[in-house]
Amino acid sequence: MPFTCSTHTYPEPFYLLLEFVSGGSLQSRLRTSRTQQTYGNLHGGSKSLSSRDLTKFAWDVAKGMSFLSSKKILHRDLATRNVLVSADRTCKVSDFGLSREGDEYERTTKTRLPVRWMAPESLFHRKYTTKSDVWAFGVLLWEIVTLGATPYPGMSKREVMDGVQQGYRMDKPIHCDGKLYTLMLNCWDADPARRPEFRQIERTMDTLMEDEQDYINLASLDENTYTSLQTVTDEKY
């Protein structure tokens, strides 16, 4: 069927033009920034990323999600694997395969789910709002701090679900500043209403970017703690 736009009719085939983002996924960028040999060898910190780079990655994602939430778009699969990095190290939220439009969405079909990034109300009641994306942003921030480690290291997906239901939250990485960890905990509040809005998160990240402080001390990243690096397939339920 031909496609009609305004006064012109265009025959098949149709083409969708997308921006080429040369840096690949943020997850890959974080993991390949680790030091040589194996992913477990983190001595000396990142070879190519600074604390400010990592803080800016989170800032970029916060700005992108603030825009999406203002348009009432629920991403539902926010994670570093679904963020792309451009040549100038700007992060761009991508992969809208699970996205929905509106204030709230209730899942009715069975599908593979990103359990480690899901809020309690999504895991156990199938409900999604922008506050569910806020929870996922907190997990994404933890991923950034740990250079792409898989969330809830050492735990199975069932253990993650049971832990989240019982109030378990990931501990503060030793090399992470308290301000970043407080933001994570705020995103992981059991009550969606008490989680910050993305515009608040964006303002928080604005303030952190204005400071000259290093919020992630890569030199003290423990090489034995964050070695869990699962594939995209393994990360989903």
**DSSP state at residue 12:** S
What 3-state class would DSSP assign to 58? helix
Instruction: Quote the CA–CA distance of 136 and 86 in Å, as a whole number.
Output: 22
171 flagged as catalytic: no
- Rounded to whole angstroms, the Cα distance separating 168 from 32 reads 30
DSSP 155-197: --HHHHHHHHHTT--PPPPTTB-HHHHHHHHHHT-SSGGGSPP
Nearest CA-CA partner of 74 in 20, 139, 145, 137: 137
Catalytic residue among 77, 133, 177, 189: 77
Written as one letter, the residue type at 151 is P
Active site residues: 77
